Amino acid sequence: MPWDVCVISKRAQEHALSPTCIGHLWVFENLQAKELEALTNAAQRKLYKKGQEVFSQGQTAKKMFLLKGGRVKLSKLAESGDEITLDIRKAGDFLGEAMLAEDMVYPLTATCLEDTLICGFDKPGLEKLILDHPNIGLQVIKNLSRRIDWLTSRVGSFSLSNLEERLYQVLSQVAREHCIQEGQRI
């Protein structure tokens, strides 16, 4: 989703979010309107510049971030001192999920590849929001469980013995992710 759909008042340098926009993030699917509104109101917004770090490897994980626009590189510093790029995240993706666990540090560094709008929740703020609106916590748990199941199935496809089976599984997964039904022509 383009970030200008999510940003209501860019000229005023106030980055307000539409509840529908935040509700399209997979982790917040199936929330009621009042819960989406509470979530939207609690989100802390920040516009990061190209090259700016969102967080660094080894830093205490205190915030979870939702990318609303832009791209972020996730990298890890190897023991040799070399930087290894592990992933590129885009609008709709999460950063800093380690915050949900107790006493964790960020296992990698997140650097903006372009100007990036990020909404975040600090741990005390998210916990208060969930205590005030228990269904948010329940839906997040359900959505995270579905994501774990999806990731597990993807990892399972790597264990297939021959290339044809692995390729079939990957292509089938891509088709499911893009709503193409089995037997339907592309």
Q: What CATH number is given to the structural domain containing 125?
A: 2.60.120.10
Q: Confirm if 91 and 115 have CB atoms less than 8 A apart.
A: no
Average pLDDT value for the chain: 79
* Distances, alpha carbon 18 to alpha carbons 4, 41, 79, 89, 131, in Å: 10, 10, 43, 21, 23
> Pick the residue with more confidence: 124 or 9?
124
Do 107 and 50 lie in a common domain? yes
Closest CA to 117 of 72, 68, 71: 68
Per-residue confidence band for 169, with pLDDT thresholds at 50, 70 and 90:
confident
What pLDDT, on a 0 to 100 scale, did the predictor assign at position 184? Answer: 54
Do 108 and 20 lie in a common domain? yes
Helix 163-177 × helix 134-158 angle, to 10°: 150
Q: What whole-number distance in Å separates Cα of residue 51 and Cα of residue 49?
A: 6
Radius of gyration for the chain, computed over Cα atoms and rounded to the nearest angstrom = 18
Transcribe 34-74 into DSSP letters.
HHHHHHHHH-EEEEEPTT-EEE-TTSB--EEEEEEESEEEE
Do 70 and 92 lie in a common domain? yes
Last residue of a domain, one of 132, 152, 169: 132
Do 162 and 117 lie in a common domain? no
Do 128 and 144 lie in a common domain? no
pLDDT tens, residue by residue, 137-163: 999 889 888 888 877 776 665 665 677
Do 83 and 173 lie in a common domain? no
Task: Note the maximum CA span of the chain.
Answer: 57
What pLDDT, on a 0 to 100 scale, did the predictor assign at position 6? Answer: 45
* Distances, alpha carbon 119 to alpha carbons 14, 46, 84, in Å: 12, 6, 26
Per-residue confidence band for 79, with pLDDT thresholds at 50, 70 and 90:
confident
Do 120 and 144 lie in a common domain? no
pLDDT tens, residue by residue, 100-143: 777 889 899 999 999 999 888 888 998 999 999 999 999 988 98
Beta bridge partners of 37: none
Do 113 and 78 lie in a common domain? yes
Do 99 and 175 lie in a common domain? no
Report which residue type is found at 51: G
What pLDDT, on a 0 to 100 scale, did the predictor assign at position 150? Answer: 76
Do 100 and 181 lie in a common domain? no
- Structural domain tally of the chain? 2
* Distances, alpha carbon 108 to alpha carbons 11, 64, 82, 127, 142, in Å: 33, 14, 13, 24, 26
Query: Distance of alpha carbon 52 from its chain centroid, rounded?
Result: 18
Boundaries of domain holding 165? 135-186
Do 163 and 86 lie in a common domain? no
Is residue 172 over pLDDT 80? no
Do 158 and 73 lie in a common domain? no
Is residue 23 over pLDDT 90? no
Residue whose tokens read 């999460």? 94
